[in-house]
Amino acid sequence: MVNEAATVVFNYNLTQTDTSTKDTEEGDFRERYTVELRKKRQCGLNNYYGVDELLEERKQVNQQQMKTPGRRGEVIKHEEISKEMSRRLLSRG
């Protein structure tokens, strides 16, 4: 009985460490992806020439999400693309 209780506590500590590691990894991924998005060009609403790299990125993420639904990375990418687009729209106004 004593060994079982120690095992449960030990497994709980591992789960808690894994959760904090996942949070830091997710935060790092968000930061790197945000920096990458800020480098991408956006032509504007009334500009018909040139490639809108943010929209192309969103299309690629949508296609990847259709292939492998439920992945956390695509959800994070959607959130970050939306934040970047809204940040750019607000900075123009």
Domain layout of the chain by residue ranges: 2-92
pTM above 0.85, yes or no: no
Q: Is the pLDDT of residue 49 over 90?
A: no
**pLDDT single digits (tens) 15-44:** 555 677 888 999 999 999 999 999 988 766
**Local structure of residue 47 (DSSP, 8 states):** -
* Rounded mean pLDDT, 40-59: 75
